[in-house]
Amino acid sequence: MSANRLSLRLFLTVVFATVVAAYALTVALPHNPYIRYQQFKDTIFERLAWIYERVHFDPTPIDIAFIGSSRTEAGVASPLLEKYLSEGGRELKVVNLSIPSSGMDIRYAEARELLQAKQVKLLVIAVVEAFPRDGHQAYGDLETAGEIFKSPLIVNRNLPKTLARLPVRQIDLFVKSIFPQAFSLKGDFDGQPSAEDPAYERPETSDLSPEEHAKALAEETARRKREIRWPILPENFRWVEYGVSRTYIERIAELAKDNGTELAFLFLPFYNGYDAPLEIDWLQEFGPVWIADFIKDNPENYRDAAHVKSVVTDSVARWLAGKIDQLLLKD
């Protein structure tokens, strides 16, 4: 082998080692996790700051937690559920930690953060008609670097981009942790919680007549049904097609078991939608699946095809109180 080839090989080896070392060093940069949850300010995920504060800085217990998408954020009113549980003789604190968009990876990140800090009796994870094939769009920004490296490989299309962005994210968090005020962030909790902004308390206005509203809902439902990505592979290969969702549900179940927490799943169907989630049989291996099918056929229950109006949250809360009471009877 010529000296030139040896020199080239040595040069490439040094470059590769330098890149790997630089990647490892930047990924290992420390930061304040509170900053990580605040960085979603002025986005649809801004509520994550309040979630972190409720979990870590509020001494109020969390006995029951709901984690899901905006459907659950709109459909589960914690104060009403607490009221009906109290009327049944159970003084339990309920919290809704849901944020918009689907993805079981971020549900796991929230569940882990919660169960590391609080003694939770019941964790309820929301599910939709078919598992998402990919993770949540905010997972790469919210999750710890260590957990990102534990992400499933099959089939995780988000992972390459997340890993590529990780060093930049870590540098950004490192700098913001040192100079939080320069970025309008808080380095320490100042006793003033961020806005919770639960969807069930948002104003509901519409210029549509009941007939027009029903027609608009029907059109949106038809579109949603067309857009659902049903499985392509046979049942035996669901672990490949829905590898991300299944992996994180299994991790949530293991986390709940390790912490002595009951696990259940909640399905809030969209207007005139399906009667049950596709994966109901598999989900029932980990906990009961509660299906609110009593809401789905009345257009007056929905502000849009996927989100219920506040008028429905009372009946949903009463129904959930009964389900929770049955589940916790063995305690």
Q: Which residues of 276-298 are buried (b: 16+ CB within 10 A; e: fewer)?
A: ebbbeebbeebbbbbbbeebbee
CA-nearest of 119, 151, 127, 118 to 67 is 127
Spatial neighbors of 267 by CB under 8 A, at least 6 apart, are: 126, 127, 128, 276, 277, 280, 289, 290, 291, 292
Beta strands in 188-304 (DSSP E): 262-267, 289-291
User: Residue 250: in which H helix or E strand, if any?
Assistant: helix 243-258
Mean pLDDT of 65-69: 97
Query: Based on the domain organization, do 247 and 299 belong to the same domain?
Result: yes
pLDDT at 42 over 80: yes
Half-sphere exposure at residue 180, Cβ-oriented, CA atoms within 13 angstroms: 15
pLDDT tens track for 266-308:
999 999 999 999 999 999 999 999 999 999 999 999 999 999 9
pLDDT at 19 over 90: no
**Rounded (10°) angle between helices 3-27 and 159-178:** 60
When mean pLDDT is compared across 5-19, 81-95, 219-233, the lowest value belongs to 5-19
pLDDT at 1 over 80: no
Instruction: Check residue 262 and give its pLDDT.
Output: 97
Sign of CA dihedral 259, 264, 268, 269: positive
Query: Based on the domain organization, do 72 and 85 belong to the same domain?
Result: yes
Query: Based on the domain organization, do 10 and 35 belong to the same domain?
Result: no
pLDDT at 6 over 90: no
Q: Give the whole-angstrom CA distance, residue 42 versus residue 65.
A: 25
pLDDT at 331 over 70: no
Query: Based on the domain organization, do 25 and 62 belong to the same domain?
Result: no
CA-nearest of 196, 237, 201, 182 to 309 is 201
pLDDT tens track for 98-150:
999 999 999 999 999 999 999 999 999 999 999 999 999 999 999 999 999 99
Query: Based on the domain organization, do 1 and 98 belong to the same domain?
Result: no
Query: Based on the domain organization, do 13 and 75 belong to the same domain?
Result: no
For residue 288, the domain's CATH number is 3.40.50.1110
How many domains would you assign to the chain?
2
Instruction: Check residue 4 and give its pLDDT.
Output: 66
Query: Based on the domain organization, do 2 and 81 belong to the same domain?
Result: no
Query: Based on the domain organization, do 37 and 5 belong to the same domain?
Result: no
Instruction: Check residue 330 and give its pLDDT.
Output: 61
pLDDT at 5 over 80: no
In terms of C-beta density within 10 A (0-12 exposed, 13-18 middle, 19 or more buried), how is residue 229 classed? exposed
Q: Give the whole-angstrom CA distance, residue 149 versus residue 160.
A: 11
Q: Give the whole-angstrom CA distance, residue 171 versus residue 165.
A: 10
Of all residues in the chain, what percent carry a pLDDT higher than 90?
A: 85
The band of 9, judged by pLDDT with boundaries at 50, 70 and 90, is confident
Amino acid, res. 324: I
Query: Based on the domain organization, do 13 and 150 belong to the same domain?
Result: no
For residues 154, 282, 254, 131, the Cα torsion angle rounded to the nearest 10 degrees is 50
For the chain, what's the residue count?
Answer: 331
pLDDT at 256 over 90: yes
The domain of 73 spans 31-328
pLDDT at 203 over 90: no
pLDDT at 205 over 90: no
pLDDT at 12 over 80: no
In the DSSP assignment, the letter for residue 121 is S
Instruction: Check residue 226 and give its pLDDT.
Output: 94
Instruction: Check residue 187 and give its pLDDT.
Output: 95
Query: Based on the domain organization, do 5 and 154 belong to the same domain?
Result: no
Instruction: Check residue 286 and give its pLDDT.
Output: 98
Q: Put the strands of the sheet holding 64-67 in their side by side order.
A: 94-96, 64-67, 122-127, 262-267, 289-291
pLDDT at 211 over 80: yes
User: Residue 80: in which H helix or E strand, if any?
Assistant: helix 78-87
SS (H, E, C) 291-319: ECHHHCCCHHHECCCCCECHHHHHHHHHH
Query: Based on the domain organization, do 4 and 150 belong to the same domain?
Result: no
pLDDT tens track for 171-183:
999 999 999 999 9
- The overall average pLDDT reported for the chain is 93
Query: Based on the domain organization, do 7 and 65 belong to the same domain?
Result: no
